[in-house]
C-alpha cells in the first residue's frame, strides 16, 4: 500500500513539474521580442496619444459653444519638430450641407493646431533619407454642450475670457517678433483707471516638454516689456478698473515660431 502511494505521488510531482515546464516554455514563446516595425508603431502611438491630449485641451478651452460639426485634422511636423502644416476636411458623417458650422469648426481647429505647443516626436519617428515629415491625423467632433449648471457656465466664461486676454497680448506683444525658439511667457503688471499701463514685467521660461527648444533672450524681454508699457489696456477683453486702484493683469501664454500659422512675406 505504501509503495503504491509513493509511486502515485511521484507521478503527480513529475506531472506538475512537466506542466510547469510547458507553461514556462509557452510564456517564453509568447514573450518574443518586438520587431522593429512593432517598436516603431508603439513609439508613434505614444506620440499620437500625447498629441491628442494637447489638442483636446485646446478644443475644450476654445469658444466653440453652439457649433455642431466634425472634421479630420491633419498635422505635419518636420524632422526639426516644427509644425509645418495644419489642415482639415469634413468627416464623412458630417457633410457640409447638413453641418454648415463645419467651416467655422475647421478654421478654429486649424488655429488651435498652429497655436498649440505639442510634445517633441522621437528622432526614430522620422524615417527615410532624407528624413520624411511626420503626419498625425485625428478626428475632432464638436456638439452643443446643452444646458449647463450655472457654476460650470461661469467657469467656461472665465476660461474663454482668459484665452481672449492671451490672444490680446500675443497680438500686441509678439506679432512683430521673429521667433527662433519656443517657450512660455508670463506677463504681469497693472494699469490705472484710464487703461495706461503703469508697470509691466515679462518673463520667458522653458516648457517642460520642449525644454531643449527654449532660448533665453534678454533683448527680446526688453522689447516685449516696452511694448507692454505702451498699451492701452482698456482694449483688453475683460478689462475692469476702479478709479482708485486701477487694474492688475497676469497672463501666461505659450509662443512658438509657427504660432498664428504660416507667416506671409
Average of per-residue pLDDT across 86-104? 94
2-6, 124-128, 167-171: the lowest-pLDDT one: 2-6
The pLDDT tens digits for 135-169 are 999 999 998 776 667 777 777 788 888 888 999 99
pLDDT of residue 264: 64
User: Is the pLDDT reported for residue 20 higher than 60?
Assistant: no
Phi, psi of 9, deg, nearest 5: -65, -40
Contact assessment for residue 110 and residue 41, using Cβ atoms and an 8 Å cutoff = no
What is d(CA 265, CA 258) in angstroms, rounded to the nearest whole number? 14
pLDDT of residue 240: 66
pLDDT of residue 7: 39
pLDDT of residue 241: 57
The pLDDT tens digits for 204-218 are 999 999 999 999 999
**Top CATH class, 36-142:** alpha beta
Return the percentage of the chain with pLDDT > 90, whole number: 57
Closest of 191, 177, 180, 182 to residue 250, by C-alpha: 191
Return the percentage of the chain with pLDDT > 70, whole number: 83
User: Is the pLDDT reported for residue 182 higher than 60?
Assistant: yes
Contact assessment for residue 237 and residue 198, using Cβ atoms and an 8 Å cutoff = no
Average of per-residue pLDDT across 113-125? 94
Q: What is the dihedral of CA 58, 55, 220, 247, to 10 degrees?
A: 10
6-10, 64-68, 125-129: the lowest-pLDDT one: 6-10
DSSP codes joined into one string, 193-233: TTSBEEEEEEEEE--GGGGGG----HHHHHHHHHHHHT-BG
First and final CA of the chain: distance in angstroms?
100
The pLDDT tens digits for 242-262 are 554 568 889 999 999 999 998
Residues 6 or more apart whose Cβ sits within 8 Å of residue 15: none
Higher-confidence position of 66 and 26: 66
User: Is the pLDDT reported for residue 184 higher than 80?
Assistant: yes
Q: Across all residues in the chain, what is the average pLDDT?
A: 84
C-alpha cell of 188? 504681469
C-alpha cell of 134? 511626420
Higher-confidence position of 56 and 238: 56
Side-chain half-sphere exposure of 109, counting CA atoms within 13 A: 29
What is d(CA 70, CA 134) in angstroms, rounded to the nearest whole number? 23
Cα separations in angstroms, 226 against 6, 14, 205, 218, 230: 94, 84, 19, 12, 7
pLDDT of residue 8: 47
User: Is the pLDDT reported for residue 170 higher than 80?
Assistant: yes
Domain ranges of the chain: 36-142, 150-255
The pTM for the full model equals 0.81
pLDDT of residue 265: 58
- The 10 Å Cβ neighbour count of residue 105 is 25
Amino acid at each position: 500500500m505504501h509503495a503504491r502511494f509513493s509511486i502515485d505521488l511521484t507521478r503527480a510531482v513529475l506531472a506538475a513539474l512537466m506542466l510547469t515546464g510547458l507553461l514556462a516554455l509557452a510564456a517564453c514563446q509568447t514573450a518574443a521580442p518586438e520587431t522593429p516595425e512593432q517598436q516603431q508603431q508603439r513609439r508613434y502611438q505614444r506620440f499620437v496619444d500625447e498629441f491628442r491630449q494637447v489638442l483636446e485641451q485646446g478644443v475644450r478651452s476654445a469658444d466653440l459653444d453652439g457649433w455642431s460639426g466634425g472634421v479630420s485634422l491633419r498635422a505635419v511636423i518636420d524632422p526639426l519638430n516644427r509644425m509645418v502644416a495644419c489642415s482639415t476636411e469634413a468627416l464623412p458623417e458630417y457633410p457640409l450641407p447638413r453641418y454648415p458650422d463645419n467651416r467655422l469648426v475647421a478654421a478654429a481647429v486649424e488655429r488651435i493646431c498652429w497655436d498649440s505647443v505639442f510634445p517633441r516626436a522621437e528622432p526614430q519617428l522620422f524615417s527615410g533619407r532624407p528624413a520624411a515629415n511626420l503626419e498625425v491625423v485625428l478626428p475632432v467632433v464638436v456638439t452643443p454642450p446643452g444646458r449647463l449648471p450655472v457654476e460650470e457656465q461661469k467657469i467656461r466664461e472665465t476660461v474663454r475670457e482668459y484665452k481672449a486676454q492671451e490672444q490680446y497680448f500675443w497680438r500686441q506683444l509678439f506679432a512683430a517678433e521673429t521667433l527662433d525658439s519656443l517657450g512660455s511667457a508670463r506677463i504681469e503688471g497693472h494699469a490705472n483707471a484710464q487703461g495706461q499701463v503703469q508697470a509691466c514685467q515679462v518673463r520667458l521660461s522653458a516648457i517642460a516638454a520642449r525644454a531643449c527648444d527654449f532660448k533665453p533672450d534678454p533683448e527680446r524681454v526688453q522689447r516685449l516689456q516696452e511694448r507692454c508699457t505702451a498699451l492701452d489696456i482698456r482694449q483688453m477683453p475683460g478689462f475692469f478698473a476702479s478709479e482708485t486702484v486701477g487694474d492688475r493683469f497676469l497672463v501666461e501664454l505659450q509662443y512658438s515660431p509657427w504660432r498664428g500659422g504660416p507667416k506671409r512675406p
